[in-house]
Structures are given as C-alpha cells and as structure tokens.
Structure 1
Amino acid sequence: MSWDSREGELTPSAAPPWLAPLVENPGAVKNAYRRRVPAEVLAALTAANTTAAVTGTRRDAAVLALFSGPADGDPGALPDDADLLVTVRAATLRHHAGQAAFPGGAADPDDRSPVHTALREATEETGLAAGRVRPLVTLDKMFIPPSGFHVVPVLAYSPDPGPVTVVDKSETAHVARVPVRAFVNPENRIMVYRGENTRRTAGPAFLLNEMLVWGFTGQVISAMLDVAGWAQPWETDKLYELSDAMALLDAEDSYGEAQR
C-alpha cells in the first residue's frame, strides 16, 4: 500500500451536517484556493513544483484541519461554538518559523498514509488524542515552496477533541482551538504580502488575538470558508506588509474584538 492510500481510514459519514459542503465537495477547496492566489504567484508555484519534481526535492507531507463542534445542526449552517485547531510554529524552526499553521509535517518512512502522518504529527505537536478524531476526507495535494513539501490537508471532525497544548517548545510556540466565527468575522480579515514591491502577490490572512494566520494556511482556511458558504463580505483592500501585520498583534486594541 502506497503512502497516498486512504483505504479504510476515512469516515465521511461521521461528519456533522454543518460540515457537509466541505465533505461532499473537497475538490472545490483547491479550486477556491487557486482562485485566491494571484496569477504570478500561481505561475511561480507551478514552476517551483516542476523543478522540485525534476530534481527529486519534493517531499510528501500532511496537515490536519480539525473542526470541533456539535454533532447536529443544519447543513452548511455554522454553529456558534465550532472551532478549528491551529498552531504557531516555533521561531527557531528552519521552515515557516513563527507562522500559524495546521498541525502536521513531513511523512516518515513508516507512515501508512496522509491520514497517519497528519494524526501522528498533530499528536506530537499538540497532545491531541487521535482516538477522538474522525478523519472525513482528504483535500487535493498542494505544493509549498521553499520547503518543497507536497501537502495533503486531511479534513477531520471531533465532537470533543479533549485538551490540547504545546508538547515541544522547540517545535511549537502556541496551540489553540480557534472559534471558526473568528475566521468568519470580517473585522479580522486582511490581505498580507511579504517584502517590497509584492503587493500584487498579497493573499488572505486572519488577524486574531494571539496569531496572524497567513500564507498557505490562510489561503486554505479562506477557501474552506468560501466552499462551506460561511464567508462574509470583507474589505480586501485592507493590505499590510507581513512585518506590519505582525506588529498589529502587539498593538493594544488595534483590531477590536478579534476572537468573535
């Protein structure tokens, strides 16, 4: 069985009704993701992906997009108490240091599948009890330079994942179950770009009480909100360079009631 196999590990029937739009059409998330990525960034990603494949530097990885909340509800209607598990990577890491991310990482040789990788990494990073988690579907692979990872997001659900916390401070700086309504709230949404003269490459981001969620993770969350029908109109002209956006985290009362 190859690492790409998901046989016997996915239980889409375990999804609550409010996650139905994502579970029933997981391919739409990548399409929504690509629509949000500027054309020149998409071209650069495609070129980097091709180069990594030719040179053999592309690596398999998986992340866990774990939603928690009630087991009932109306199809597509977001419950007030639904949340999403997010971590902040330690500032000392080689790749994506200090960045908010889904728990996850590179596949180990003994990993059986993306589901196995995502659950193993999430347990190592957050202390998550994997037995409480129901993997629902896998989203399409997405390439992330400069790390060279070919990432499979694993969409999962738990009515109650139990306590989560930082397990290893050398890898993870912060762990949080963030209310999904905090991502939906238009007041928390901004556009972020990195470096000078790259405003056209800005992507969606979320400015929360304890973290700035941007880059790959911000793009995936934005795409999921769109596909699920949870997104609300927001000011896409709220544009910040990355360092300026990070500085807002330290500015008292700079972005209102951000965790609502």
Structure 2
Amino acid sequence: MSAGGERRPPLVRVLAAELAPSRRGEGPAPRLMNPLRPVPEGFSPRRSAVLALLAGTDDPALLLQERSATLRSQPGQFALPGGRHEDSDRDDVETALRESAEEVGLRAGDVEVLGAFAPVPMPWRDLTVTPVVAWSPVRPPVRVVDEAEVARVVWAPLAGPGSLTDPACRVPALLDGRAAGLALDLPGDAFVWGFTAAMVDALLHRGEQPPPPPRGPAREVPSARR
C-alpha cells in the first residue's frame, strides 16, 4: 500500500523523510530516543518490535491497545501493538506487522511502512524494542483478536481536545509518589505512561510543532494501569 506524499499529514511527511535513507539501505537507522535507564555492561537482550501506526489525513490518530488485565507483565497498561522477534521473522518490520495482525487483526497490505528507528534498550526487561513506523490515509479495520493479550483498541488523535498534544492531557506522572515521567491522560480512561508514553512523545517531537511539556498537578498512575 502506498500513497502520495501530498496527502500525508506533516508529522508523517517528516518521519518518512527521516527514515527513507535507512529504509533504502543508505545508512544506519536513526535513533528515536535514549534509553530510560542505564544499559549495563554485557547487556544481551532479546529482540522485539512495536508498530507506531498513524492513520488519517486531516485528523491523524495513533493506534494504541490496552493490555489485558490478566497478563502477568504490565496488565492494563496501554502500549503500541508489537512483541518479541521470532526466528521466522525476516526483520523487525515483519515482527511488528505479524504481532499487530495477531493482536489487533491489522492487515499488512492496509498500511505503508515508512521505516524503522534504531532499537531502544529496555534493560529492566532484557529487551530491545525497535519502533516501526507506518501510515494509512484512512483508519484500517482493527479489532481485539486475542482477548488474553488485548482488552481494547484505541485511536488517539494527534491534535485537538483530548489528543496526544492537548496540554490538558499531558501531565507529570507519579508512581507511588515518585516522578515517573510524562503521562498522557486521554479520554476514555486511557492513561498512557512509562516507556510507551516516552516513545510516543519522542515521535511527536519529530514534528514541525513539538508538543507542549507536561504541566499541571502530577497524577498518580492508576492501580489498573500498573
């Protein structure tokens, strides 16, 4: 699937241009963000990848999913679709697309892959996470496929009231009273924080108009989102 650049929202155009050289094999993948914690010596992680899918032309939105409350790891948290690399995956793009199909029913042919950023270390989980960026001019059909992993799917607008860049939704997070970075307190009880919030914010900062910094009273991470 491919679409003319003139139809792409500004952020999508910027991301496509930044990722194009590495996608063509003309250089290394750019770095999206620094690790949130120091990477220890001898770090030997497993590979994983997530899909940052932006959809829409006039009102673009980012695809998020709420993890099932029954999962042992990060239950109830919001995340980008994705998961661990399997031996049958040719590369991180295929990992992200395969996991998105398994979790939310996304068909690879419905999106245009713009490229991938360099893997981001998550030393506290012995993982690296490769952010794969894709775009579609319309929101592709998605749904909860595996209820054991995903509770619901959410489209988070990039602009306007209740969006990822709405100052009212961008607040400092607290975890048991300690600073925990940025939180995106979105409508519908969609509280996004931690690694996912940091990655989404790094993507938004690639745009021509970076989002405002978090402000207002800090908010404790809800118990259902830990």
Q: Does the TM-score normalized on the shorter chain lie above 0.5? A: yes
Instruction: Write 1 or 2 for the structure with the bigger share of helix.
Output: 1
Separation in 1, partners of 2:139, 2:108: 8
CA RMSD of aligned residues (A): 2.7
1:257 paired residue number:
none
2:119 paired residue number:
141
User: For 2:129, what is the secondary structure of its paired residue?
Assistant: strand
- Confirm or deny that 1:131 pairs with 2:109: yes
Moved more, 106-115 or 203-212: 203-212
1:20 paired residue number:
13
Equivalence map 1:186-225=2 (5 Å): 186-196=167-177, 198-199=178-179, 202-210=180-188, 211-225=190-204
Separation in 2, partners of 1:225, 1:193: 22
Amino acid in the other structure paired with 1:24? A
User: For 1:112, what is the secondary structure of its paired residue?
Assistant: coil
TM (normalized to structure 2)? 0.82
Mark the CA change 1:93 to 1:203 in structure 2 (over 3 Å): closer, same or farther.
same
- Confirm or deny that 1:226 pairs with 2:219: no
- Confirm or deny that 1:171 pairs with 2:149: yes
Superposed displacement of residue 145, structure 1: 4.0
Instruction: Write 1 or 2 for the structure with the bigger share of strand.
Output: 2
- Confirm or deny that 1:183 pairs with 2:164: yes
- Give the structure with higher Rg (CA): 1
Aligned positions, number: 211
- Confirm or deny that 1:95 pairs with 2:88: no
Spell out structure 1 runs of 4+ moving beyond 4 A: 10-15, 26-29, 244-247
2:54 paired residue number:
67
Gaps of 5+ in 2: 20-28
1:151 paired residue number:
129
Amino acid in the other structure paired with 1:165? R
* 1:180-238 deviation digits (Å, cap 9, x = unpaired): 12101111111113234x32xx2111001231111111001111111113334344353
Counterpart contact for 1:12–1:136, Cα < 8 Å = no
User: For 1:205, what is the secondary structure of its paired residue?
Assistant: strand
Mark the CA change 1:228 to 1:149 in structure 2 (over 3 Å): closer, same or farther.
same
2:38 paired residue number:
45
Separation in 2, partners of 1:141, 1:169: 28
Separation in 1, partners of 2:124, 2:73: 8
TM (normalized to structure 1)? 0.72
Equivalence map 1:232-243=2 (5 Å): 232-243=211-222
Counterpart contact for 2:2–2:111, Cα < 8 Å = no
Counterpart contact for 2:64–2:80, Cα < 8 Å = yes
Give the fraction of aligned pairs with identical amino acids, expressed as a percent.
34
1:5 paired residue number:
none
Gaps of 5+ in 1: 1-9, 71-78, 248-260
* 1:21-61 deviation digits (Å, cap 9, x = unpaired): 2222356762xx33xx7xxxx4x4322xx3542xxxx1100
